[in-house]
Structure formats: structure tokens, C-alpha cells
């Protein structure tokens, strides 16, 4: 039915993952890991696993997460989403934080209020990127292991978010980059001759693919709106008309022997950001069905699921890591992040001293460190990382980097979790099964054995390190 061009729907930049958030330390597929745990994430694309794992951390355990991505644009998104998650209660309440997080996470266009918060976060992060290990401001935003050129690239990206990108029109006038046109161009390219009947294609992908894969909580109205213009979450009646700069990136094309750079939207236009947080929830009533239909589907319950899940994770992070005497949530005066933002712009003279950064929440016993893009192949050469990682995660987009040297950096009884192609909608069932078989073969070659008998509809494959 769907005549779209294969594998173009996922795009070449992975802005969000193609699987639900997972607690990498406490899962039905692996034993509970205790004490100090080192987790390596390769290509996770967003901080969903980080937040889910932190939320489930026990008081007696400590956690260090190491992140490798293949794009600095993705790393910048990681940082700003973590920044929003760590914004203290006195600056942004849980409900507002959840709304802003989901807007930045999955909307091509955001509210002007959210854009101000985003610009402020980018300005703060651009100041902290070049911290040294001795001056790092927050252990969950550690970029000190990145190469200098990668940090410079992050600063460049953050500055683009502060001052939106623009292009020159044929008449010579400077006009802002339109993510709406970029999105529509991707949809036209993906569907080809089926563009004029795109609603039918959208319905087919939802009913015959996502719903068949257990994502019935995603309703038609939500999904079609996202496929049409890239707006996944409109939780308020505000105007979603400002380009979400975090979803713009530059792609290099070859044209008649020359290299041309084009800025636009190069991410997923098929599977949707709902997968990361929106198809599972703590509130099981949102998933209740009657006669094959979701009882609360009229309540936009996919958005409600994502809001509920994010809210629960952020609340659990607060409750599990901070005693009430430290939080004092109800006693602290409310300070708007925009007030802090305005103070920043007014207090920072050109070429002058840098003002103090906004005090984010400091999570004791937890660190998140970003490693260079090419570091996976170099980790085995460093003694520090010998038998180091207790859990290793690979995304479907970077599983090709799973190699024989992985055994050298895996701790005894290490767990390997690999994202499968279940939610890559451009693949058919035979291609999904072939992908899973290839993953199993690569894992076994690297010295890992299957944790359990994988099912054809699993979103992940789990392995453990074989005993020598």
C-alpha cells in the first residue's frame, strides 16, 4: 500500500530514538545491577534512557553514563534536554518543565515562550562547553572529554539557536530558515507520486504498522498532524509558529562535482517522537481498551501518556535523589527562567566578564559524560576502560559499530542491549527479522550470548558477556 521510498523516512539525523525509554539497570531482561555502575550509550539519540535509569536508581547505588553520538547536533540536543530536566523547581515547576521538554523534544514549531527558554538554555550551555575537569559546572553535563574542535562545534550550534539561522532570498533579502518548508520538502521526497494522497499513506502507516506493533495509544488525529507539519505536542492553546532550532542541521550534498551545504530538517518523518515516552505509561488506565478501541483515545492519550511518563520520571528523580529537607519545594520563591534569561542578556557586556550560570540541580552519585564521536574504537586502547562498562547500549542506527573489541571494555557479566528495527516503518517483516539475526550474529562474534530467546516483535535484544 505504501509506495514510499525505503529507508528515507528515518532520515540521516537521529533526533529521537526508535524505541521506548528503558531503565538499563533494572529490567526484566537482565539482573539488577548494584553498587557503582558504568553505562555506555552508543547512538541513543536522546536522553530517554538516561532519565529513565536515573529515576529508578536506588539510594545505595551510583551511576556514571558515558554517551557517544555520531553528530554534534545530536549531542547539543542531549545537553539542552538534560539542562531542561535539571532546571530547579524554583525556576520551573514540574508541569511547565514537562511541557517545555516535550515541545523542544518533538515539535518542529514551538511557542515563543518556549523559544525564549531555549535561547536562554543555549546561552548557558555555550558558556559551559569549554569547562575543564576542574571547573565543570554540573556532573550531568560533562563535555570535558570532547575534542576541542567538537566543543567549538557545540558553541557554534548553540549560537545558531540563540540567533536563528537565515538564508538569502533571490532578491538578496535575508529570510529565516523555514522548518515548515523543510518538513514539507522531506515529505514530498519521501512519498513521491503519492504526495497528493498522503493522508491515505499516513493512515496506512498508523493502522497497519504502528497499531499492529502495539502502539494503539497513538490516535489518528495526533499522528496525521505530526506527519503533516511536524508538531507532535500542542498541550496548550498557544501559537506553535516559531521554528524549533534544535531540529535544524546542515547536510552536505554533491552537485556536479561540487559540495553544497543545505540546512533543513533531516530527521525522522515516519515513526514519530511518540515512541520514546508515549506508548508506555505508569497510569495503566490510559492503555485500557474496549472492543479493540482505547477508552480514552478522545483525550489525546498518547500526549497524555508522554506527559504522564515524563512527569513521573522527573518527580522520581527529585524524590529518590533529594530528601525533603533539601528540596523545600513549597518554601522556595518562584523565579522564572525568563527573568534569569533577561538578567543574563542585560548583565553580559560584549567582551566582558561572564555572569554566573543558572544553578541547576546537582545529582549526587550521578554523572553523564560525553565522549568524542570516534572514541568507540579507541576505548580499548586505554587502560582506564579495560573491563569497565557494566551495561552497553547500541541503537539501531549505530549497531554497525558493534565489533570484536567490545569485549575488552565490557566488565565481567556485562549486559549488552541493542535496539532492533521494530519501529523503523520503512522496513518490512523480512527485513526486521534479518536485522535481528544480524544483530545476534554480531553480538556473538563480539563474545556475548543471548540473554533470552528473542521474539520477532521485540524492541530490544539483550545479551550477556560470555565467560572465558
338-388 per-position pLDDT tens digit? 444 343 333 333 333 333 445 788 888 899 999 999 999 999 999 999 999
Looking at the fold, whether 142 and 182 belong to one and the same domain comes out as no
Statement: the pTM of the whole predicted model exceeds 0.75: yes
Looking at the fold, whether 390 and 458 belong to one and the same domain comes out as yes
**Strand partners for 264:** 249
Sequence-separated (6 or more) residues with CB below 8 Å from residue 223:
202, 206, 210, 272, 274
Looking at the fold, whether 174 and 305 belong to one and the same domain comes out as yes
CA dist 41 and 429 (Å) reads: 27
Residue 31 lies in a domain: no
Looking at the fold, whether 210 and 235 belong to one and the same domain comes out as yes
- The pLDDT score that the predictor gives to residue 8 is 80
Residue 283 pLDDT level (bands cut at 50, 70, 90): low
Residue 174 pLDDT level (bands cut at 50, 70, 90): very low
User: To the nearest whole number, what is the mean pLDDT of the chain?
Assistant: 83
- Name the domain boundary from 309, 342, 369: 309
Residues in the chain: 468
Residue 346 lies in a domain: no
Cell of 460: 530490544
Looking at the fold, whether 145 and 176 belong to one and the same domain comes out as no
- Name the domain boundary from 246, 277, 309: 309
Looking at the fold, whether 72 and 185 belong to one and the same domain comes out as no
CATH at residue 375: 3.40.50
pLDDT over threshold 50, residue 326: no
Over residues 110-128, mean pLDDT: 94
> Which residue, among 390, 415, 361, 346, has the nearest Cα to 94 in the 3D structure?
361
pLDDT over threshold 60, residue 468: yes
Looking at the fold, whether 41 and 116 belong to one and the same domain comes out as yes
CA dist 463 and 261 (Å) reads: 40
Looking at the fold, whether 301 and 414 belong to one and the same domain comes out as no
Provide the residue range defining the domain that includes 458: 36-149+356-465
- Name the domain boundary from 309, 343, 369: 309
Q: Count up the domains in the chain and report the number.
A: 2
- The pLDDT score that the predictor gives to residue 348 is 39
- The pLDDT score that the predictor gives to residue 251 is 86
Over residues 123-127, mean pLDDT: 93
Looking at the fold, whether 277 and 385 belong to one and the same domain comes out as no
Amino acid at each position: 500500500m505504501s509506495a514510499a521510498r525505503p529507508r528515507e523516512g528515518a532520515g540521516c539525523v537521529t533526533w529521537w530514538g526508535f524505541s521506548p525509554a528503558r531503565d538499563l539497570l533494572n529490567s526484566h531482561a537482565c539482573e539488577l545491577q548494584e553498587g557503582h555502575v558504568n553505562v555506555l550509550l552508543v547512538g541513543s539519540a536522546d536522553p530517554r534512557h538516561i532519565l529513565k535509569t536515573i529515576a529508578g536508581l536506588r539510594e545505595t547505588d551510583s551511576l556514571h553514563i558515558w554517551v557517544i553520538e555520531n553528530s554534534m547536533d545530536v549531542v547539543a540536543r542531549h545537553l539542552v534536554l538534560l539542562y531542561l530536566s535539571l532546571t530547579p523547581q524554583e525556576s520551573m515547576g514540574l508541569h511547565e518543565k514537562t511541557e517545555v521538554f516535550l515541545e523542544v523534544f518533538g515539535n518542529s514549531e514551538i511557542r515563543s515562550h518556549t523559544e525564549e527558554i531555549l535561547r536562554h538554555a543555549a546561552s548557558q550551555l555555550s558558556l559551559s562547553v569549554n569547562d575543564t575537569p576542574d571547573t565543570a559546572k554540573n556532573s550531568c553535563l560533562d563535555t570535558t572529554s570532547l575534542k576541542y574542535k567538537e566543543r567549538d562545534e557545540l558553541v557554534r550550534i548553540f549560537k545558531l539557536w540563540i540567533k536563528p539561522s537565515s538564508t538569502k532570498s533571490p532578491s538578496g533579502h535575508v529570510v529565516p530558515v523555514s522548518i515548515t518548508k523543510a518538513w514539507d520538502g522531506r515529505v514530498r521526497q519521501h512519498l513521491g507520486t503519492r504526495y497528493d494522497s498522503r493522508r491515505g499513506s499516513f493512515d496506512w502507516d498508523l493502522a497497519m504498522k504502528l497499531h499492529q506493533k502495539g502502539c494503539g495509544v497513538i490516535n489518528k488525529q495526533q499522528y496525521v498532524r505530526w506527519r503533516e507539519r511536524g508538531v507532535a505536542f500542542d498541550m496548550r492553546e498557544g501559537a506553535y509558529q516559531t521554528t524549533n532550532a534544535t531540529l535544524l542541521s546542515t547536510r552536505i550534498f554533491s552537485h556536479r562535482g561540487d559540495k553544497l551545504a543545505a540546512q533543513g530538517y533531516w530527521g525522522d518523518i515516519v515513526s514519530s517522537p511518540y515512541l520514546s515516552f508515549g506508548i508506555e505509561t505508569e497510569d495503566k488506565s490510559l492503555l485500557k481498551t474496549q472492543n479493540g478501541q482505547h477508552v480514552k483515545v478522545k483525550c489525546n492519550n498518547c500526549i497524555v501518556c508522554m506527559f504522564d511518563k515524563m512527569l513521573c520520571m522527573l518527580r522520581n528523580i527529585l524524590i529518590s535523589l533529594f530528601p525533603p529537607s533539601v528540596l523545600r519545594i513549597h518554601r522556595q520563591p518562584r523565579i522564572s527562567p525568563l527573568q534569569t534569561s533577561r538578567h543574563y542578556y542585560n548583565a553580559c557586556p560584549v567582551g566582558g566578564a561572564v555572569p554566573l550560570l543558572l544553578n541547576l540541580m546537582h545529582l549526587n552519585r550521578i554523572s553523564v559524560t560525553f565522549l568524542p564521536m570516534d572514541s568507540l574504537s579507541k576505548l580499548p586502547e586505554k587502560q582506564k576502560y579495560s573491563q569497565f562498562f557494566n551495561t552497553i547500549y547500541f541503537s539501531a542506527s549505530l549497531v554497525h559499530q558493534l565489533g570484536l573489541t567490545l569485549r575488552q571494555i565490557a566488565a565481567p557479566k556485562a549486559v549488552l542491549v541493542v535496539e532492533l528495527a521494530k519501529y523503523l516503518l520503512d522496513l518490512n517483516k523480512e527485513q526486521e527479522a534479518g536485522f535481528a539475526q544480524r544483530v545476534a550474529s554480531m553480538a556473538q562474534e563480539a563474545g556475548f550470548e543471548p540473554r533470552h530467546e528473542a521474539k520477532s516483535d521485540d524492541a530490544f535484544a539483550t545479551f550477556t558477556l560470555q565467560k572465558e
